[in-house]
Structure 1
Amino acid sequence: MTKDLKNKGLATKAIRGGLERSQFKETSEAIFLNSGFVYDSAEEAAGRFRGENDGFIYSRYANPTTSVFEERMCLLEGAEAARATSSGMAAVNLAIMSHVKAGDHVVAPKALFGSCLYIIEQILPRFGVKVTLIDGTDIDQWQKALQQPTSAVFLETPSNPTLEIVDIAAVADLAHKVGAKVIVDNVFATTIYQKPLELGADVVIYSATKHIDGQGRCLGGIVLSDEEFIEEVVAPYHKHTGPSLSPFNAWNLLKGLETLELRVEKQTDNASRVADALAENAKVARVIYPGRDDHPQAALARQQMKRGSTLVSFEINGDQEETFAFLNRLQLIDISNNLGDSKSLITHPTTTTHSSVSEELKAELGINSNLVRLSVGLETADDLVEDLLQALEG
């Protein structure tokens, strides 16, 4: 890690963390778009594979451009080590599957992104891992579920798409008493607004596709933790199963990090303005936004997050047909299941991101047919509000 930047500001870390220049002294990071590396001798190659000397072996294991991205993210997150992955879901899979084994117990909230829920609910039991799903906002349910030996806790906060807040510090305290690793998907809060490791979590994961790239260019993910967990648990699984981030995507993500704070702050300003405007409209039944006092867990959100979020969820006063009609009337905001983008994107979770979730669970979680999730972008806030209001009016 770049030691002399530890006490610098977030923006400085995001721009200069892990910076390595080649012999050409380029200003922007170089892209090492290669699969392999050569050695000066057979002895050097043998020593490299034995771990006796530093250097790169194969880009599936590590790559100079990808390593800069990992080091920069460590600096931002306050982590000791990291492994970058080809997508956010590759990061989720890596963090969980590298750690658990048959006979282990995993606890997670029911309120998860559809693909995350699939891994927890469908894949883990196939490998003999017991799973307990709970209401993540109810600390009593956490306490009950964690009365037995547990290998891992997995959670996302705020959750997708209902923006529920899980008390990271309280859950970490309970989990550590039974020896469980706490894995937090921090994609909605971003490293700008929430630091799970400082709150007691052991592992943080991101879909870097979202705010880190944030411009619709590429996929990526990352797992961050202490050096022991990354090097002894995550790294071997990563090396041998190959969910590696491409050097070109790593370079794109490095460019994204340079403007991350500026973009997220502006998007949050816009999201707050949009949430307030929607809350005043009679065509909207409910607005869910962690930055508003009427959020069910507003106090907890203020306690563990610096600001609200770039995401706003809300319910239309009407059924699915009327909700679809609202979406189809939007002229500026795009219908898309992605989020954290510079462009404002809106989706209907029950038929898109959470379409694989059972109807019973969707009803329990409040993922209703009139719920939409809006990822607020960088457009002029008044233009976004105008577009939403005209679509609501029909």
Structure 2
Amino acid sequence: MRGFSTNAIHAGQEPDPSTGDVITPIHVSSTFAQDGVGGLRSGYEYSRSANPTRTALQECLAALEGGRHAVAFGSGMGASDVLMRVLLKPGDHVVIPHDAYGGTFRLVDKVLALWGVEYTPVDLADIGALRAALRPTTRVVWCETPTNPLLGIADIAAVADVSRTAGARLVVDNTFASPYLQQPLALGADVVLHSTTKYVGGHSDVVGGALVTGDDELADAIRFTQNSVGSVPGPFDAWLTLRGVKTLAVRMERHSDNAERIAELLAAHPAVTRVYYPGLAEHPGHEIAAKQMRRFGGMVSFTVAGGRDAALRVCAATEIFTLAESLGGVESLIEHPGAMTHASVAGSALEVPDDLVRLSVGIEDVEDLAEDLRQALSAADR
């Protein structure tokens, strides 16, 4: 059985048989010649349905997550939308995390709810609360672990057991962990979701998404719906993502190294009131994260003494951390979730603290990152 980095570099990426290309080519053709009506020369007919560059990416992602099938999308939300269409119908019920990603909440609350889908936000770290939230109509349990932006941890195996008993599918958004740090299918999940824009691509230069599953029928339904609605990535996007994934293992090790140091710095800083990072022993999900994750990842959130205004001043004062949405790139980013990535949950049960700051800790020299945060916190305290 091949190791993770070997699969990242080679799965789905054998040298091109006709040219010997070591790197997967970018197949830009929108259509493919047929040898007679219905006689597909290469197995491809039209790039909305399938494209060789996209196939290479999908085979690689399936290998990394330990699934039989992967389907790549034009964005993580495109993947979420197609999966919801496949798994839910009007009148069905879905459980979502009580601090779900703002885009996921918006899709469920503002789009699917109009279609007759009902939902309940639940702290998935509380198995009793999950059981209490389930209904006869529950078809999907949608899990993030770690969550965005509060870095909550759910026990995937336990959530899978409860979901299965209730007849619901378990979907795990594995964006924050990446396949290198965590493999939910092996723990009982039915489907794994990625915004490949983030750690999988890793360079803040391409938007994409993916679904991975071991269920043949479900994979067929996902492909059919994707082709029907056209939520596909272009070949260059697939190629950029495939290029990024080759270095995923080494990047995640450095992200984790740096984030652990930054979390410790923040936990000891007098201007910081709370740090959210599963690598800290005091994090309530630390033991579960240590059990189901290889490392603790590159995302750190914290709250600041002085409230919202102080948090905004910290975000404005950094020099190496760039004020920007998104995450998972080689460069460090800082943002205010309440006003940026999670503005869509304002006024709802999922509203995030207004003194919260979220960091995507990059792979720069960690002492430079630490000094940048020290001076930003000092500036905010003036």
TM normalised by structure 1 equals: 0.93
3-state secondary structure, aligned to 1:349:
coil
What amino acid is aligned across from residue 6 of structure 2 in structure 1?
Answer: T
Residue 115 of structure 1, aligned match among 76, 95, 103 = 103
**After superposition, where does 1:221-232 map in structure 2 within 5 Å?**
221-232=209-220
Deviation at 1:298, TM superposition (A): 1.0
Residue 117 of structure 2, aligned match among 126, 129, 145 = 129
Distance 2:49 2:215 in 1: 16
CA contact (8 A) 1:82 1:230 kept: no
- What residue number does 1:293 align with? 281
Distance 1:241 1:187 in 2: 23
Deviation at 1:257, TM superposition (A): 0.9
3-state secondary structure, aligned to 1:95:
helix
Distance 1:344 1:65, change over 3 A: same
- What residue number does 1:98 align with? 86
3-state secondary structure, aligned to 2:184:
coil
List gaps (5 residues or longer) in structure 1: 1-6
Q: Deviations over 1:97-127 (max 9, x none)?
A: 1221122221222211111011222322222
- What residue number does 2:7 align with? 13
Q: Is structure 2 residue 30 aligned with structure 1 residue 42?
A: no
CA contact (8 A) 2:34 2:45 kept: no
- What residue number does 2:363 align with? 378
CA contact (8 A) 2:338 2:346 kept: no
What amino acid is aligned across from residue 24 of structure 1 in structure 2?
Answer: T
Q: Deviations over 1:206-232 (max 9, x none)?
A: 000001111111111101112424443
3-state secondary structure, aligned to 2:301:
strand
Distance 2:246 2:348 in 1: 43
- What residue number does 2:28 align with? 33
Segment drifting more, 97-106 vs 245-254: 97-106
CA contact (8 A) 2:124 2:159 kept: no
Segment drifting more, 209-218 vs 97-106: 97-106
Deviation at 1:160, TM superposition (A): 0.4
**After superposition, where does 1:65-80 map in structure 2 within 5 Å?**
65-80=53-68
Deviation at 1:96, TM superposition (A): 1.6
- What residue number does 1:153 align with? 141
- What residue number does 1:59 align with? 47
Distance 1:150 1:179 in 2: 8
- What residue number does 1:234 align with? 222
What amino acid is aligned across from residue 15 of structure 1 in structure 2?
Answer: I
Distance 1:70 1:230, change over 3 A: farther
Fraction of identical pairs, as percent: 38
Distance 1:338 1:232 in 2: 30
Could you say what the CA RMSD is over the residues aligned between the two structures, in angstroms?
Answer: 1.4
What amino acid is aligned across from residue 8 of structure 2 in structure 1?
Answer: A
What amino acid is aligned across from residue 254 of structure 1 in structure 2?
Answer: L
Q: Is structure 2 residue 323 aligned with structure 1 residue 338?
A: no
Residue 245 of structure 2, aligned match among 257, 272, 297 = 257
3-state secondary structure, aligned to 2:150:
coil
What amino acid is aligned across from residue 17 of structure 1 in structure 2?
Answer: A
CA contact (8 A) 2:91 2:137 kept: no
- What residue number does 2:18 align with? 23
Aligned length: 378
CA contact (8 A) 1:99 1:234 kept: no
- What residue number does 2:257 align with? 269
Segment drifting more, 131-140 vs 109-118: 131-140
Q: Is structure 2 residue 65 aligned with structure 1 residue 81?
A: no
Residue 353 of structure 2, aligned match among 368, 371, 379 = 368
Distance 2:166 2:350 in 1: 30
What amino acid is aligned across from residue 88 of structure 2 in structure 1?
Answer: V
Distance 1:74 1:360, change over 3 A: closer
CA contact (8 A) 1:350 1:362 kept: no
3-state secondary structure, aligned to 1:341:
coil
List gaps (5 residues or longer) in structure 2: none
What amino acid is aligned across from residue 264 of structure 2 in structure 1?
Answer: D
Distance 1:129 1:149 in 2: 10
Deviation at 1:147, TM superposition (A): 4.8
CA contact (8 A) 1:85 1:221 kept: yes
3-state secondary structure, aligned to 2:170:
strand
Distance 1:126 1:359 in 2: 19
What amino acid is aligned across from residue 156 of structure 1 in structure 2?
Answer: E
What amino acid is aligned across from residue 301 of structure 2 in structure 1?
Answer: S
3-state secondary structure, aligned to 2:187:
coil
Distance 1:28 1:386 in 2: 39
Deviation at 1:89, TM superposition (A): 0.8
- What residue number does 2:337 align with? 349
Distance 1:224 1:388, change over 3 A: same
CA contact (8 A) 1:95 1:183 kept: no
